[in-house]
Amino acid sequence: MVVLCNMRMFIGIPIKKEVLPYIENIQDELLSLSIQGRKSPLHQMHLTLCFMKEISREKIEILIDYIHSLRLNECILEFNKVNHFTQSNTSLFYIEVNARKELILLQQKIWEGLKKLNIPFDHNKGTFHITIARNVVIKQKAFRLIQPMPRVMRVDSISLIESKLTERGAIHITKESFSLLGKTSTLI
């Protein structure tokens, strides 16, 4: 008997290395104003476009082939402000990303494909964001003091990423990367 295991997967935009010092400075400033908290690992920084929960290996292979067949265009991430939400008495802090038209279209194209392939996913149309810290307890709304300089990042690829839950938090493993088309690119 063959046991097939499902994997927790998401499609995300990996954050480029040259942007990581910018994010690390924000993390350091945030945690200096906090009583407790845990930074999100820099090597796992991403913006989630679609979370698929658990899917089978067969569906993953079909999804990889499908995404490779799409004509997905490059876009720009515009980092906005630091914000947070609280759930069960702990806070998650993130950098908001402006919902530019190109980013929304990229997400919609991926969602359309998942629907066609009958792959269940989270339809949450929440704020585009990059999680920078978890379990943060901050001193008296001090995070309002954190006002990062605006920053942009060119997005030229997306990734299919597995999220393995461990006692120390999630570990992200890139299963496949997909290049996006530049404005002057053509398919061969």
Any domain includes 186: no
| Count of structural domains within the chain | 1
| Residue of 97, 53, 105 whose CA lies nearest to 79 | 97
Instruction: Name the burial class of residue 141, with classes exposed (0-12), middle (13-18) and buried (19+) by CB atoms within 10 angstroms of its CB.
Output: exposed
Domain span at residue 58 reads 8-179
Six-digit token string for 171: 């570990």
Local structure of residue 149 (DSSP, 8 states): P
Any domain includes 173: yes
Any domain includes 184: no
Any domain includes 2: no
Any domain includes 25: yes
| Residue 12, strand partner residues | 48, 159
Region class of 127: left (phi > 0), else alpha (psi between -120 and 50), else beta:
beta
Assign residue 119 the CATH number of its domain.
Answer: 3.90.1140.10
pLDDT tens digits, residue range 104-128? 999 999 999 999 999 999 988 778 9
pTM value?
0.86
pLDDT at site 12: 96
Q: Is the pLDDT of residue 3 over 60?
A: no
Any domain includes 22: yes
Any domain includes 159: yes
pLDDT tens digits, residue range 30-51? 888 888 889 999 999 999 999 9
The confidence band for 143, taking pLDDT boundaries of 50, 70 and 90, is low
Which residues have CB under 8 Å from 55's CB, separation 6+? 6, 7, 9, 63, 119, 120
| Residue 155, strand partner residues | 75
Any domain includes 1: no
Q: Is the pLDDT of residue 187 over 50?
A: no
| Residue of 6, 11, 7, 5 whose CA lies nearest to 114 | 11
